[in-house]
């Protein structure tokens, strides 16, 4: 965390101990194995005896809260942090089971990935998307990860290998699931005035939205990502996006499970509902396609960073919009959308529109 923070502060040209007014971290005690984990955050961020708070949500929710703190006028500069130290968890599956409703959902003793199985089943049924189309997302994202030196799971795989990998919760296979990785991401946000002073390549937050659906597995919309629909509306409205497919150049979206990328793209109105699978299969979302998606490799290629996955998406958007993405640079990109989901069993997520033009 210290190293990520130093990199971020050098990049932003700020002194942690003088210039940053407030520090936010997105963390969840059970991922860490500490109660009241908030208290362990200040030192590594340069936040000792400064204003610090923890957001119990993903990194984009922390960015949203950081942006709001700036909008209040209280702070000019805030730092946002999220990380994954998944390798410290010996019983990730047990900890995930602990997130289920104790009365209604824990008694059946199924691994919580059954929730992704239920959702994938209904999504495929409702949209006529195929398992092969979902597998093409895995192929694409693992391939994209090869050009991302920070990605943990680059690979050249075939659709067949994914479909025929170990069944986890039908129709979801082992390879449809993003593997866990460790990592830490720190970002610096600033007011418009301060950003113009500090930065050579500021990236502007044009719109933000965050929503939660019901936790009730018994009464949830299993075919579409309702939380993203609403977050999208709020973010696009603020950003003035009317025709997302034309006005946005690329997207980094949650692909914790293969089908989620397709479902989330539909929720973001990058294509019509039920069309994402066909477009993915046709290569439209490839790096060189008409609308690149998860050029970073996404969760499937770069790794599931828990609450930091959302920041991984934002980081890729920032690097692309600055023209600093190296081998995987998308040409002439001006506007991007980053979207997050807190994975099973949640129905919560955020949307951010970013641009290199104010």
Partner 1 sequence: MSKNMKELPGTPLSGKELKSEKVITFKWRPNAKYAWSAGIAYGRFLDELKAGRIIGRRCSRCERIIVPPRMFCEHCFVATDEWVYVKDTGTINTFSLSYLDADANRIKDPILVAVIDIDGASPGVGILHLLGNVAPDKIDVGMKVKAVWKPPEEREGSVTDILFWEPLED
Point out which residues bind partner 1 (CB under 8 A): 2, 5-6, 16-17, 30, 33, 42-44, 46, 48, 87-91, 93-95, 97-98, 102-103, 106
d(CA 58, CA 307): 4
Closest distance to partner 1 from the beta carbon of 18 (Å): 10
Smallest distance, partner 1 to C-beta of residue 253, A: 30
Crossing angle between the packed helical segments 114-127 and 258-267, to the nearest 10 degrees: 50
- Choice between 42 and 274, CB closer to partner 1: 42
Using the minimum distance from each CB to partner 1, give the nearer residue, 92 or 222: 92
In terms of CB distance, is 111 or 238 closer to partner 1? 111
Smaller CB distance to partner 1: residue 98 or 125? 98
Q: Which residues contact 243 (CB under 8 A, 6 or more apart)?
A: none
Helix 131-144 × helix 258-267 angle, to 10°: 100
| Residue corresponding to tokens 């023209």 | 323
- Start-to-end CA distance of the chain, whole Å, equals 30
Closest to partner 1 by CB, 106 vs 220, is 106
Residues in CB range of 72: below 8 A, 6 or more apart: none
At 56, phi and psi to the nearest 5? -85, 75
Instruction: Report, in Å, the least distance between residue 35 CB and partner 1.
Output: 11
- Taking the least distance from each CB to partner 1, the nearer of 106 and 122 is 106
Smallest distance, partner 1 to C-beta of residue 100, A: 10
Q: What distance in Å separates the CA atoms of residue 66 and residue 208, rounded to the nearest whole number?
A: 11
Q: How far is the CB of 105 from partner 1 (least distance, A)?
A: 11
Residue number, 73 or 102, with CB nearest to partner 1 = 102
Answer for the pair 23, 9: CB distance below 8 angstroms, yes or no: no
CB of 7 to partner 1, least distance (A): 13
Cα separation, 130 vs 281, in Å, equals 10
Cα–Cα distance, 245 to 223 (Å, whole number): 22
- Closer residue to partner 1 in complex, CB, 88/160: 88
Residue 199 phi, psi dihedral angles, 5° rounding: -110, 140
Min separation Cβ 91 and partner 1, Å: 4
User: What is the torsional sign of CA 243, 60, 17, 319?
Assistant: negative
Residue 109: CB atoms within 10 A of its CB come to 6
Q: How far is the CB of 93 from partner 1 (least distance, A)?
A: 8
């Amino acid at each position: 965390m210290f190293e990520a923070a130093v990199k971020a502060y050098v990049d932003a040209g700020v002194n942690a101990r003088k210039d940053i007014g407030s520090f936010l971290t997105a963390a969840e005690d059970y991922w860490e194995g500490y109660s009241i984990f908030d208290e362990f955050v200040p030192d590594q961020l340069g936040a000792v005896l400064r204003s610090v708070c923890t957001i119990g949500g993903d990194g984009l929710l922390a960015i949203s809260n950081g942006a709001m703190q700036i909008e209040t006028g209280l702070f000019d500069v805030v730092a946002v942090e999220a990380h994954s130290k998944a390798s410290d968890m010996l019983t990730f599956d047990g900890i995930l089971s602990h997130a289920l409703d104790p009365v209604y959902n824990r008694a059946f003793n199924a691994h919580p990935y059954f929730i992704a199985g239920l959702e994938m089943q209904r999504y495929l049924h409702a949209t006529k998307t195929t398992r092969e189309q979902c597998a093409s997302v895995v192929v694409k994202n693992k391939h994209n990860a090869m050009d991302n030196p920070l990605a943990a799971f680059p690979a050249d795989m075939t659709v067949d290998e994914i479909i025929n990998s170990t069944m986890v919760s039908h129709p979801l296979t082992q390879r449809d699931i993003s593997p866990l990785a460790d990592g830490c991401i720190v970002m610096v946000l600033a007011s418009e005035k301060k950003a113009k002073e500090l930065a050579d390549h500021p990236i502007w937050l044009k719109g933000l939205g965050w929503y939660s659906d019901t936790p009730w597995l018994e009464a949830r919309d299993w075919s579409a990502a309702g939380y993203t629909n609403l977050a999208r509306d709020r973010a696009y409205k603020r950003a003035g996006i009317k025709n997302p497919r034309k006005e946005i150049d690329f997207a980094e979206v949650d692909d914790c499970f293969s089908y989620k990328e397709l479902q989330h793209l539909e929720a973001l109105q990058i294509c019509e509902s039920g069309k994402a699978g066909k477009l993915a299969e046709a290569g439209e979302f490839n790096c060189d396609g008409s609308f690149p998606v998860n050029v970073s490799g996404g969760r499937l290629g770069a790794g599931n960073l828990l609450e930091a996955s959302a920041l991984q998406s934002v980081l890729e958007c920032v690097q692309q919009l600055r023209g600093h993405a190296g081998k995987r640079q998308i040409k002439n990109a001006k506007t991007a959308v980053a979207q997050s989901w807190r994975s099973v069993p949640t129905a919560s997520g955020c949307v951010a529109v970013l641009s290199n033009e104010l």
